[in-house]
Amino acid sequence: MYGGVGLSLSLLLLAIVLFQLIAEPYIEDLTLRLLIVCIGFVVTFPSIVAGYGLLKTKNWARPLGVVAAVFAFVNFPFGTAVSIYSFCLLFTKTANCAGGD
In the chain, what are the domain boundaries? 2-90
| 62-72 tens-digit pLDDT | 999 999 888 88
For the chain, what is the largest distance between any 2 Cα atoms, rounded to a whole number of angstroms? Answer: 56
Helix (H, G, I), strand (E, B) or coil at 85: helix
Q: Sort 7 into a burial class: Cβ within 10 Å, 0-12 / 13-18 / 19+.
A: middle
In this prediction, residues 70-91 reach a mean pLDDT of: 86
Distance CA 87, CA 62 (A): 10
Distance CA 66, CA 47 (A): 9
Distance CA 2, CA 48 (A): 9
Distance CA 28, CA 5 (A): 29
| 14-59 tens-digit pLDDT | 888 888 878 887 777 778 888 888 888 888 888 889 989 988 989 9
Q: What pLDDT is recorded for position 93? A: 72
* Model pTM score: 0.69
Q: What pLDDT is recorded for position 2? A: 67
